[in-house]
Every structure is written in C-alpha cells, then in structure tokens.
Structure 1
Amino acid sequence: MSDALKIHDLKPAPGAHKKKVRKGRGEASKGKTSGRGTKGTKARNTVPVGFEGGQMPLIRRIPKLKGFKNPNRVEFQVVNLDKLAELYPQGGEVTAEDLAAKGAVRANRPVKILGTGDISVAVTVKVNAFSGSAKEKIVAAGGTAEQV
C-alpha cells in the first residue's frame, strides 16, 4: 500500500499559485520606476479623478442647478371638445383606439380630453383622463365621461 495518496503529497496544480509582484522593492523585481515610466505627474503621484490636463473639467462645464426631469411623468395626448364635435357629428362612443384610427392621436399612448370649445351631441367618451370643464360639458350635452 505504498502507492496510496498521502496528505503531505498534495500540492496545487502547476501555475495555479503565482507570486505577487512587489513593485518598488529593488531592482530584482519591478524596482526603480515601478511600471510608471519616467517623469511626469503620473510617475510622481496620483492624477486627480476627472483631471483633464488643465482643460475645464466636465463637472465644472455643466450647469449646477437647473431643476430636474420627473422620470414618472405621464405625457397625455390632448384632444379638445371642438375636435370631438368635428370628428363625431352624430355622437356615439369615443375610445382612444377610435381617435387613433381617425388620426386625432397616436395609438398606444394615454389620451386626455380638454374643455376648449363646445359639444352639442351626446357622446360616451372612454379615455385615460379628462379636465374638469370637459367632463362638465360632455355631461351637460347628455353624454358620459368614463375614465379607463
């Protein structure tokens, strides 16, 4: 049983363990310039983060405070009541898909009805949002305003 593997015979695979390079510890290893080349700012010490060689850095070129953009903003496509009256002279049911088919809005985007103009026919409007005045005018004309 002399061929059995003993714990003191175990060793890592060749090339699995490399010695760490000790820079700047004498000429035998990476001594002298320690891989930094010769002279200049980068050889002597660290260059500040964002340093652009004396050019005005980006962080100072851009404006400091000018509001912000709300990432959760919902941008509605608006349709006024006078446009609704023009598109539906006989009344009927109005949906966002119908409006997109008639070319008043683009498909698959939220639609809001605003109260500019008047409507005299009864329409059932089913869209994403209404202004207060638009809702009042639609109901006054005998129609309904449903939010989807």
Structure 2
Amino acid sequence: MELNSIKPASGAKHAKRRVGRGIGSGLGKTAGRGHKGQKSRSGGYHKVGFEGGQMPLQRRLPKRGFKSHLLKYNAEVTLGELQALGAAEVDVLVLKQAGLIPQLAKVVKVIKSGELTSKVVLKGIGATVGAKAVIEAAGGSLAE
C-alpha cells in the first residue's frame, strides 16, 4: 500500500446533487420539484400533519383518557412484599428505606396479591378491602 493509492471505501463518498444547473445535468429547469403547486415554490410548504385543508386525522379522532399528575406520589405494596419485609410495624418511612416504594411517594396502599401469615400493624398506610381482610385474619391491624 502506498500513500498515493489510498482511497475511501466504495460508496462512502458521493457527489452532492446540484439542482437547477441546466438541461444536461438532468435536474435543470424545475430542479426536480415538478410543475407548479405549493411544493414547487420557494419557502412554500406546510406543517406536519397538514392534509391540504382537510380536517387532519389528529383532530378528527376524539380526545380520550387522562393521566393524573399526582400518580407519581401514589404507590402500592403487595401482601407478599409485606411478608418478605418481616417488620411488625410498617409505615411509609420503613417502606421507603426497604426500597419497596419510591422516595417521592406520599400515599401508599396495600393490595391483595401474595400471601401474608405474619402479624403486621400498618401505620398511615391504606389497604384494599381484600387486603384488609387478609391482614386482620393474620392478626394484624390498620392504624390510619
């Protein structure tokens, strides 16, 4: 290999398309823009989603759903996670330290998922009807 024989890989470099430079170039006169219309004019185009004046799809479809901005402050804990935690008294701080709920969480609720056999006292934590029944059956209680 010699310095004067080094070349870039084939297809790595290609000439930029020079439009509007005469008939011989193949892109003279209209410069690949076709004849007339908004797309052929300089500075003339439309915004994303524009459908030529027809009501755009995004506006034709109904608005649906809602995502609460308070969701990041809500958290849930399963009965199985409480069992694995093995603490007699559980409050929000204990759950945060164990890493079961995010640090931002303010409202915590226990849901009925998994088994609970040990006695657990919940302080400042809510529970679903089913979860409450399981906790009380295991000898625990909810101190709101």
Q: TM-score, normalised by structure 1?
A: 0.52
CA contact (8 A) 1:85 1:119 kept: yes
Alignment of 1:1-12 (within 5 A): none
RMSD, aligned α-carbons:
2.7
Distance across 2 between alignment mates of 1:134 and 1:71? 25
Against the structure 1 CA distance between its residues 102 and 71, is the aligned structure 2 distance closer, same or farther, given a 3 Å change threshold?
Answer: closer
Distance across 1 between alignment mates of 2:116 and 2:70? 30
Higher helix share: 2
Q: Over residues 102-140 of structure 1, what are the superposed CA-to-partner deviations in whole Å (9 max), with x where a residue is unaligned? A: 111112312110111221111111244211111111111
Partner of 2:30: none
CA contact (8 A) 1:112 1:127 kept: no
CA contact (8 A) 1:85 1:121 kept: yes
Identity %: 23
Partner of 2:84: 86
Runs of at least 5 residues in structure 2 that lack an aligned partner in the other structure: 1-45
Partner of 2:140: 143
CA contact (8 A) 1:94 1:123 kept: yes
Q: Over residues 85-110 of structure 1, what are the superposed CA-to-partner deviations in whole Å (9 max), with x where a residue is unaligned? A: 0111xx41101110110111112312
**Paired positions, count:** 93
